[in-house]
């Protein structure tokens, strides 16, 4: 748990004394977040900064780090949570949520003293939009807590992203807090132009730091974190050799097999609509897709495309020249990641032809079991931590003038006052895992392994830079860019061209961040999750208990509107990861338990819809079902661009039991006859759902579903599993519309409204969506 106390200094001299937050008795705030990929955590941190400026003493951490009774100790409690799975709470809230649901609390009013507000993050292409935040709210109210400020619900589908809802919510919350908790005497809130003391500080290690005779540090790696319950011990040379031999023996048994590192999509146009909350007290902040609006503003978008790519023609995606020469690759050192496994890369194989615009790789890893073999089921993800390239790290060191300190061992500390007052504090952010055998590590280590220096900068980062430049023009520009109200300008400068932190720093040469502030400034590299695409028997059948898992990765390399080629951090890392490389990986169970792979579930019909690398988890599921004697009928709709280029695994399906595949090749020319066979809105008469407007005449999965309505309708009557995986643009909503059309067309129900309801009833159908 990171307690944010106030301190006067961080050991570095500041150019000017800054006004400081004041500790006021009884003025306390707790910010709890639930987050899978860091969005909610980022929002929580922004709220903490606001609270500190209003002189609240604040603690912030993931929900699972708190006990329920902790809630009672703070004057204000703010929850920030995303929704994951199929309307589920994020994984780092499981313990907290379970406690909150305890039966014996139900009639106790035990949270009566708690004053709370909630900000939810979701994606309206999922039917259970923002359910985690909503469930949380209902339960807190049931237990007697008071909601002092309306709930905010952001939608990732919104064109302007989370900010479109967060910014107005944040501003109103700040006003409400100031009114409800007036400051005593002549204490004034600190303005956004006030630099706050850091929470975490880096210092050069004192001479007390020693290495043991074996070369490993005398202090266990991560021992000061307090948050690393299961720090793995590094494998010895003999163990590695034995591992290598075992991988070699089992290599041939590996199957080839997914997921995508996907730039956030902004293809959908969404309008924000404030809705009255049920009890009518005040409207929640919400952003939702507005189908009517979408109809009116029919954009020609392809669910496989992203709008940061210049146009819609494959040849324009081609990046003939590599955008950089790879002078040297990231080092192989592994991080001490709790609960992780050592994995050896066995194959890194391109699945698309060389002349295809997109490089899709199948990477196959052998995972060494720890005490027990890992449990892997369909829907399990493999988490990989990418690294920065040495040339980028050096470029940052040079720009910031850190050459003198880059190779020196470091100490992690709190700001002075917090170290003295709070014993349970961690001295570095939660997910900052140090390099194995690195002792205290160096700044170069941190920049290589831990900080995402090529991420798109967030507003907070840009605002903080203002304090580290002596150039007035730069200060003005940074203030303008990051101020609330400049969201569009900020988006145009950062997200739209996908400008990186490094590039931003090059634009502001006067900025010199003191190295002590690195932990407070830079975002941490988070593990990227990839769905495992092979079934259980392949995973567990190997001698030596080595689990062989494959992922299918679309390496993201694209031109942006500023015509600079870009490559995602993880894509670049994986592109050059050579077979035999050892990496530390984590395995994450599916976020939802909906996807059962037992015999009974395997007998149910399966309607699977995948686009692109979304085929990964579906392939795993189909392979799992295939183990049983009589798997239910499977109808797989697979959408890709070209039959010859990205029709993944097409040769496998004929060997599977009871599997029929209906492909949709969106970019292959269709004969006039084929085009005629696609459903058309006028011919369907009743079909006025918005999805048809943009996809009319296109060979997309949703139209294939409509085309095969009788077959799909028949299966829908048999309590099937419906699995939808792939891009998160319009595809999921369009597929649901197509299913509604089928239900009406095949007379399962009479109206689309009934069809929508029908699809939400678990006794009719189990729907599992994983889109990214
Ligand atoms: C696998 C997956 C499942 C999701 N399920 C839902 C959902 O059921 N409802 C919803 O509103 N949003 C859902 N989302 C969207 C996330 O809530 C949204 O992307 C959010 O910004 C993630 O924030 P985080 O990084 O803090 O986890 C899902 C996202 C993913 C990747």
CA dihedral (217, 220, 225, 227) positive or negative? positive
Measure Cα distances from 240 to 39, 247, 359, 582, 610 in Å: 37, 10, 31, 9, 38
Q: How far is the CA of 139 from the centre of ligand 1 (A)?
A: 20
For a mutational test of ligand 1's pocket, the pick from 35, 126, 131, 589, i.e. the residue with the most ligand atoms closer than 8 A to its C-beta, is: 126
- Give residue 686's domain range: 599-771
The pair of structure tokens assigned to 41 is 């955590």
Identify the bridge partners of residue 303 per DSSP, sorted by sequence position.
Answer: none
Ligand 1 neighbourhood includes 90 CB (under 6 angstroms) = yes
The pair of structure tokens assigned to 341 is 């496994």
In a domain, 69, yes or no: yes
Counted residue by residue, the chain has a size of 772
The contacts of residue 425 (CB under 8 Å, 6+ apart) are: 1, 2, 3, 226, 414, 418, 419
The pair of structure tokens assigned to 109 is 């009013």
Same domain, 132 and 250: no
Same domain, 633 and 513: no
Can you give the pLDDT at residue 721?
Answer: 95
Q: State the Cα–Cα distance between residues 360 and 646, nearest whole angstrom.
A: 8
For a mutational test of ligand 1's pocket, the pick from 46, 62, 119, 121, i.e. the residue with the most ligand atoms closer than 8 A to its C-beta, is: 121
Q: How far is the CA of 174 from the centre of ligand 1 (A)?
A: 26
The answer to whether the CB of 198 falls within 8 A of the CB of 415 is yes
**CATH number for the domain that contains residue 497:** 1.20.990.10
Same domain, 608 and 516: no
Closest by Cα among 144, 147, 41, 140 to 97 = 140
The answer to whether the CB of 111 falls within 8 A of the CB of 143 is yes
Identify the bridge partners of residue 709 per DSSP, sorted by sequence position.
Answer: none
Ligand 1 neighbourhood includes 287 CB (under 6 angstroms) = no
Nearest CA to ligand 1 atom 5: 84
Residues of the chain with pLDDT under 50: 7-13, 207-235, 240, 243-244, 247-326, 416-424, 541, 687-688
**What one-character-per-residue DSSP string does 220-260 give?**
PTTTTTS--TTPPPPPPHHHHHHHHHHHHHHGGGPPP--EE
The pair of structure tokens assigned to 535 is 């079934």
Q: State the Cα–Cα distance between residues 152 and 148, nearest whole angstrom.
A: 12
The answer to whether the CB of 78 falls within 8 A of the CB of 30 is yes
Same domain, 700 and 754: yes
Same domain, 677 and 760: yes
**What DSSP state is assigned to residue 403?**
T
The answer to whether the CB of 50 falls within 8 A of the CB of 174 is yes
Q: How far is the CA of 276 from the centre of ligand 1 (A)?
A: 23
Same domain, 613 and 760: yes
**What DSSP state is assigned to residue 74?**
-
**What DSSP state is assigned to residue 177?**
H
Same domain, 756 and 680: yes
Can you give the pLDDT at residue 454?
Answer: 95
298: phi then psi, degrees, rounded to nearest 5: -65, 110
pLDDT, tens digit (0-9, with 9 covering 90-100), for 219-260: 222 223 333 333 344 445 555 455 445 544 443 333 222 222
Same domain, 365 and 473: no
The pair of structure tokens assigned to 362 is 């199948």
Ligand 1 neighbourhood includes 153 CB (under 6 angstroms) = no
Q: How far is the CA of 93 from the centre of ligand 1 (A)?
A: 14
Q: Name the domain count of the chain.
A: 4
**What one-character-per-residue DSSP string does 699-755 give?**
--HHHHHHHTHHHHHHHHTT--EEEEEE-SSSHHHHHHHHHHHHHHHTTSSSSHHHH
Ligand 1 neighbourhood includes 82 CB (under 6 angstroms) = yes
Q: State the Cα–Cα distance between residues 600 and 604, nearest whole angstrom.
A: 7
Q: Helix 731-745 and helix 709-716: axis angle, to 10°?
A: 80
Q: State the Cα–Cα distance between residues 280 and 573, nearest whole angstrom.
A: 51
The contacts of residue 248 (CB under 8 Å, 6+ apart) are: none
In a domain, 226, yes or no: no
Same domain, 634 and 766: yes
Q: State the Cα–Cα distance between residues 82 and 92, nearest whole angstrom.
A: 11
In a domain, 710, yes or no: yes
Final residue before a domain boundary, out of 568, 591, 614 = 591
For a mutational test of ligand 1's pocket, the pick from 32, 82, 531, 771, i.e. the residue with the most ligand atoms closer than 8 A to its C-beta, is: 82
Can you give the pLDDT at residue 4?
Answer: 55
Same domain, 348 and 400: no
A 10 A CB-CB count for 214 gives 8
The answer to whether the CB of 9 falls within 8 A of the CB of 416 is yes
Q: Closest ligand 1 atom to the C-alpha of 34?
A: 26
Can you give the pLDDT at residue 540?
Answer: 62
**CATH number for the domain that contains residue 125:** 3.40.50.360
Q: State the Cα–Cα distance between residues 561 and 555, nearest whole angstrom.
A: 19
């Amino acid at each position: 748990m990171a307690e944010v106390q106030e301190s006067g200094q961080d050991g570095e001299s500041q150019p000017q004394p800054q006004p400081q937050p004041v500790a006021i008795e009884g003025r306390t705030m707790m910010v709890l977040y639930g987050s899978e990929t860091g969005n909610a955590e980022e929002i929580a941190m922004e709220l903490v900064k606001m609270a500190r400026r209003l002189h609240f003493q604040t603690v912030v951490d993931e929900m699972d780090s708190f006990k329920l009774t902790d809630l009672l100790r703070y004057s204000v409690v703010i929850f920030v949570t995303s929704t994951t799975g199929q309307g589920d709470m994020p994984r780092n809230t499981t313990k907290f949520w379970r406690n909150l649901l305890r039966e014996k609390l139900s009639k106790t009013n035990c949270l009566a003293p708690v004053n709370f507000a909630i900000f939810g993050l979701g994606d309206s292409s999922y039917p259970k939009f923002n359910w985690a935040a909503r469930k949380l709210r209902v339960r807190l109210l049931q237990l007697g807590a008071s909601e002092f400020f309306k709930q905010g619900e952001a939608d990732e589908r919104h064109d302007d992203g989370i900010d479109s809802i967060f910014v107005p919510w944040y501003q109103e919350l700040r006003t409400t807090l100031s009114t409800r908790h007036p400051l005593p005497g002549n204490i004034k809130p600190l303005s956004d132009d006030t630099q706050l003391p850091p929470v975490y500080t880096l210092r050069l290690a004192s001479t007390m730091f020693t290495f043991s005779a074996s070369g490993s540090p005398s202090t266990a790696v991560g021992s000061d974190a307090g948050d690393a319950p299961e720090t793995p011990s590094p494998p010895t040379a003999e163990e590695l050799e034995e591992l290598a031999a075992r991988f070699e023996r089992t290599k041939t048994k590996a199957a080839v097999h997914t997921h995508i590192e996907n730039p956030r999509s902004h293809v959908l146009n969404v309008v924000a609509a404030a809705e009255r909350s049920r009890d009518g007290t005040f409207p929640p902040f919400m952003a939702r897709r507005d189908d009517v609006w979408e109809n009116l503003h029919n954009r020609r978008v392809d669910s496989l495309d992203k709008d940061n790519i210049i146009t819609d023609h494959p040849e324009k995606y081609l990046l003939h020249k590599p955008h950089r020469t790879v002078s040297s690759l990231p080092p192989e050192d592994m991080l001490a990641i709790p609960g992780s496994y050592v994995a050896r890369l066995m194959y890194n194989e391109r699945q698309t032809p060389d002349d295809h615009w997109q490089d899709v790789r199948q990477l196959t890893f052998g995972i060494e079991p720890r005490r027990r073999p890992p449990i892997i089921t369909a829907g399990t993800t493999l988490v990989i931590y990418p690294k920065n390239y040495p040339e980028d790290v050096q470029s940052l060191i040079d720009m910031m003038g850190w050459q003198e300190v880059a190779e020196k061992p470091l100490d992690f500390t709190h700001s002075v006052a917090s170290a003295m007052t709070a014993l349970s504090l961690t001295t570095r952010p939660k997910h900052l895992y140090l390099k194995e055998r690195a002792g205290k590590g160096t700044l170069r280590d941190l920049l290589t392994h831990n900080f995402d220096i090529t991420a798109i900068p967030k507003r907070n980062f840009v605002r903080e830079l203002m304090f580290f430049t002596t150039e007035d023009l730069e200060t003005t520009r940074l203030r303008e860019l990051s101020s609330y109200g400049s969201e569009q300008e900020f988006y145009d400068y950062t997200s739209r061209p996908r400008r990186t932190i490094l590039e931003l720093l090059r634009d502001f040469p006067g900025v010199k961040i003191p190295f002590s502030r690195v932990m407070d400034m830079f975002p941490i590299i988070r593990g990227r999750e990839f769905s495992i695409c092979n079934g259980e028997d392949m995973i567990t059948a190997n001698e030596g208990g080595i689990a062989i898992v494959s992922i299918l990765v679309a390496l993201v390399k694209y031109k942006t509107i500023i015509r600079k080629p870009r490559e995602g951090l993880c894509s670049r890392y994986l592109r050059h990861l050579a077979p035999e490389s050892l990496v530390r990986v984590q395995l994450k169970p599916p976020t939802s338990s909906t996807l059962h792979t037992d015999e009974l579930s395997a007998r149910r019909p399966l309607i699977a819809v995948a686009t692109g690398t979304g085929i990964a988890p579906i392939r795993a599921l189909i392979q799992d079902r295939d183990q049983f004697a009589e798997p239910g009928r499977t109808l797989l709709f697979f959408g890709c661009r070209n039959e010859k280029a990205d029709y993944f695994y097409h040769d496998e399906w004929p060997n599977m039991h009871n599997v029929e595949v209906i492909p949709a090749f969106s970019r292959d020319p269709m004969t006039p006859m084929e085009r005629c066979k696609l459903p058309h809105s006028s011919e369907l008469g009743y079909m006025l759902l918005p999805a048809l407007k943009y996809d009319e005449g296109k060979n997309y999965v949703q139209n294939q579903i409509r085309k095969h309505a009788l077959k799909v309708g028949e299966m829908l009557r048999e309590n099937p599993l419906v699995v939808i995986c792939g891009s998160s643009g319009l595809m999921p909503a369009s597929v649901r519309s197509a299913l509604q059309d089928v239900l009406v067309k095949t007379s399962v129900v009479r109206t689309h409204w009934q069809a929508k309801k029908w699809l939400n009833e678990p006794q009719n159908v189990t729907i599992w969506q994983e889109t990214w």
